[in-house]
């Protein structure tokens, strides 16, 4: 019933575990949720992505150090190899960079300073960050095509470095929240640029795509069910969130990461990873309007 194109052949799915796990800072999104991925049994490559909402959300009573401590706890609890952040103010990034010893950081400012970043410090730059559990990374950045319906600059940040000893491209992006045509052009630019930078390297591509799993934008990345990309996505085996068009053991679907639905993704290159698992974690007060998304995969 499913049409699985050649680039997707290498990713083999597993049904996610029905085990309960409590985190110190990010809880389960729903007490009735059956698909909870346990840190003790998930595949070894661990990933996190989070829209920090650094400039827009109130973060009432939360200091930069306290914000960073919450993220650090999530990284530690998940034993994350990579962390990819969007909508992050420089003060948040700097506080987290100082805490995450053993992680190589990469930062990309897409804006010189929205006023909302002032609560985190005097440097009001705003953008994205990647942290990789390794000694050092090569930082790669690209501006995305301007969207006439969105005056916010958009970009792509990648960090090339070892993940479990294997050179990998860990990337984050944030596509426009308005303007379908402009967002699609940005998605196409991300796909082309990541392919150019990666070559044959494994790729982890995460962030806020501001698009549904079944959309032209995410079709640039999914390698099945109409997609023309070369990736799987960590939450595609969660049958609790399959829509009516899902007929197999995996699907272009997933748990909501925002009140508007699933907007945040962790894609992994299908030629290099298998056995993907994912969870959208419960919101923590005064942190973000997005859920933290965590994923895991095994090497192919």
Give pLDDT tens digits for 250-288. Answer: 899 999 999 999 999 999 999 999 999 999 999 999 999
Q: Can you tell me the distance from the alpha carbon of 248 to that of 237, in angstroms, rounded to the nearest whole number?
A: 9
Tokens coding 194: 């990541």
pLDDT tops 60 at residue 18: no
Closest by CA to 278, choosing from 261, 290, 266, 287, is 266
Task: Give the largest CA-CA distance in the chain.
Answer: 56
Q: 28-62 pLDDT, tens per residue?
A: 544 334 456 788 899 999 999 999 999 999 999 99
What the chain holds in terms of domains, given with CATH numbers, is: 6-299 (3.60.10.10)
Q: 92-115 pLDDT, tens per residue?
A: 999 999 999 999 999 999 999 788
Closest by CA to 107, choosing from 140, 129, 81, is 129
Q: 159-174 pLDDT, tens per residue?
A: 999 999 999 999 999 9
Q: Which helix (H) or strand (E) holds 65?
A: helix 64-78
pLDDT of residue 21: 32
Q: Can you tell me the distance from the alpha carbon of 73 to that of 250, in angstroms, rounded to the nearest whole number?
A: 30
Q: 120-160 pLDDT, tens per residue?
A: 999 999 999 999 999 999 999 999 999 999 999 999 999 99
pLDDT of residue 25: 59
Closest by CA to 250, choosing from 19, 8, 32, is 8
The pTM for the full model equals: 0.90
CB crowding 46-73: b at 16 or more within 10 Å, else e: bbbbbbbbbbebebeebebeebbbbbbb
pLDDT of residue 37: 78
First-to-last C-alpha distance (Å) of the chain: 25
Closest by CA to 236, choosing from 35, 81, 102, 5, is 35
Tokens coding 45: 């490559």
User: DSSP 3-state assignment of 222?
Assistant: strand
Q: Is 16 left (phi over 0), alpha (psi -120 to 50) or beta?
A: beta
pLDDT of residue 27: 60
pLDDT of residue 260: 96
CB atoms within 10 A of CB 25: 18
């Amino acid at each position: 019933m499913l049409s699985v194109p050649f680039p997707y052949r290498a990713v083999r799915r597993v049904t996610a575990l029905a085990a309960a796990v409590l985190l110190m800072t990010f809880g389960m999104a729903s007490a009735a949720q059956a698909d909870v991925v346990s840190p003790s049994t998930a595949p070894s490559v661990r990933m996190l992505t989070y829209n920090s909402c650094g400039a827009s959300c109130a973060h009432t009573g939360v200091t930069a150090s306290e914000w960073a401590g919450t993220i650090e706890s999530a990284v530690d609890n998940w034993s994350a190899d990579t962390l990819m952040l969007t909508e992050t103010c420089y003060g948040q990034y700097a506080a987290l960079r100082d805490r995450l010893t053993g992680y190589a950081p990469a930062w990309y400012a897409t804006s010189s300073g929205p006023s909302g970043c002032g609560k985190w410090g005097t440097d009001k730059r705003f953008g994205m960050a990647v942290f990789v559990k390794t000694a050092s990374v090569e930082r790669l950045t690209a501006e995305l095509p301007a969207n006439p319906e969105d005056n916010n600059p958009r970009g792509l940040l990648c960090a090339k470095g070892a993940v479990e000893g294997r050179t990998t491209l860990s990337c984050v992006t944030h596509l426009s929240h308005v303007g379908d045509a402009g967002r699609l052009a940005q998605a196409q630019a991300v796909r082309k640029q990541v392919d150019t930078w990666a070559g044959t390297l494994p790729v982890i591509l995460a962030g806020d795509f501001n698009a549904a799993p079944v959309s032209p934008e995410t079709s640039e990345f999914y390698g099945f069910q109409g997609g023309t990309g070369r990736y799987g996505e960590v939450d595609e085996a969660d049958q609790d969130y399959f829509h009516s068009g899902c007929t197999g053991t995996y699907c272009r679907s997933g748990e909501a990461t925002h009140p508007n639905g699933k907007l945040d993704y962790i894609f992994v290159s299908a030629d290099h990873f298998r056995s993907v698992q994912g969870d959208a974690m419960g919101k923590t007060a005064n942190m973000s309007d997005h859920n933290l998304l965590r994923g895991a995969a095994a090497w192919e």
